[in-house]
Structure 1
């Protein structure tokens, strides 16, 4: 079942027409990475303390989706979608705002394509007799903020960490074997699949700065100084990526204003853009 799911995700990403921009003349995403975590992994309960008490566990996701039924999730599927080279390269030379290509990705890649992928995989598993839920489609899913900045009650980065797909960066991005310029999605299913092991010794092991005190490339790339030795100022970052001017920039080129233009400068033209820098530095 593990390989079957992986191959189905890879097939969908490579063949589905929604993963191609006629305007940019490139796919939005390259071949994905897919890994699995046990739905009963104690890390999911720990996230209520690490992230927020509202953060959902896989069992809570199933309790909401299948209220009144005695259903138990067994596996969490996490998917890494590496942003394609042409879109990444368009953003490398930017100094103040995201490139048009990166901005269009936010509307047509992030929302449209990823939603289609998770819906397809959910149907794929349902047809095989396994109840499956995309937590971000539940009415209980929410994005909100606290004194530290924006967050959600189903963090794709933390789900990916649980599945052993990578670790966190000083800029709060997620560094995988295919780098930090990625998107993430996930599903919870009752299919029993052997979980992948977390190989990282630390939750920031792939970040050159946090592991070795070197790099600081993303510090220099941030146009609003939101990344420093103290960490990542999520509020300043959010205002830049999704504020009024960002929304106007997205609208001006045919994107969804609500999605904003994003930024991604701290994910491009840096050592961890498309690979794990610690893999070559050890």
Structure 2
């Protein structure tokens, strides 16, 4: 049960305790953890960024209060809602293994993508249940029946909710040349979120713009992710989602044959790069 501690602290502890438990598992190697210690941040359901996402990405984008309305069949004021976001960093073991690879995923990386994301899905549900048990309405957009993939006229592959964009709103990182989020614990991570019917003070966004943490986009240096991409899907002009998806799908047969489970993975642009495990220092001050 929630006690007298602030709601933000209580939620942060729930998320961290779940990831510290045996439920955070690769489902191999004596239940080796899939993720390191999470980062947690908060944004307001009325943050103008969410409306901007809908206008910029596409009208199909569903706002926090719209997910809540669908779940509970009543109206919610956006300013009364909070979005809690978290970052699940890849473990040192996973990053170490994946740095060595150049064309196909390491087993740990592929497992984190499949079994680690299963942990993330269950974490979303766990956070929602804990809130509901304390009489706070909540919904996990990615686990909602109205979440679906979509096509943006401007950006191509998209969906009705973006965990990365929610994390950006919560002050947890900025976007990279690869479209991934560079967070204080790096780009090698997964992210999740839950919308709740309570007001929590938003986390500060200490960055000045949405690409500040990327050396290439901020100052024209680095470009290591371009070199790491085995299919040429990352160039100085950005991330080719079509090529990227085709390559990721191609890895399915490799994962099945070599590791014995149905899965896939790439993520070379997230390891053996300066932003793998943190925000890289800029050379231009």
TM tier, smaller: over 0.9
The answer to whether the 8 Å contact 2:61/2:160 transfers is yes
Distance 1:281 1:128 in 2: 49
Equivalence for 2:38: 32
What is the CA–CA distance in structure 1 between the aligned matches of 2:283 and 2:202, rounded to whole Å? 26
Matched, 1:255 2:261: yes
Alpha-carbon RMSD: 1.8
**Pairwise CA distance, 1:146:** 4.9
Give the aligned partner of residue 109 of structure 1. 116
CA distance in 1, matches of 2:84, 2:202: 9
Question: Is 1:13 aligned with 2:19?
Answer: yes
Question: Does the 8 A contact of 1:24 with 1:101 survive in 2?
Answer: no
Q: Distance in 2 between matches of 1:213 and 1:194?
A: 35
Residue of structure 2 in register with 1:225 after alignment: 232
- The answer as to whether partners of 2:26 and 2:111 remain within 8 angstroms in 1 is no
Distance in structure 2 (CA, Å) of the matches to 1:51 and 1:249: 33
2:86 aligned with 1:79: yes
**2: distance between equivalents of 1:3 and 1:142?**
31
Deviation at 1:235, TM superposition (A): 0.6
Query: Which of residues 102, 105, 128 in structure 2 aligns to 1:95?
Result: 102
1:7-26 Cα distance to aligned partner (Å, 9 max, x none): 11111101133435433863
Matches within 5 A, 1:151-230: 151-230=158-237
Bigger shift: residues 118-127 or 23-32: 23-32
Worse overlay, 165-174 or 270-279: 270-279
**Segment drifting more, 168-177 vs 48-57:** 48-57
Give me the whole-angstrom Cα distance separating, in 2, the residues matched to 1:201 and 1:272.
Answer: 18
TM-score by length of 2: 0.91
Please, what TM-score do these two structures have when normalized by structure 1?
A: 0.92
Kept after mapping to 2: 8 A contact 1:103/1:255: no
Contact 2:68 2:139 in 1 (8 A): yes
The 5-angstrom pairing of residues 112-151 of structure 1 reads 112-146=118-152, 148-151=155-158
Please tell me whether the aligned partners of residues 60 and 150 of structure 2 are also in contact (alpha carbons under 8 angstroms): no
Structure 1 stretches of 5 or more lacking a match?
A: none
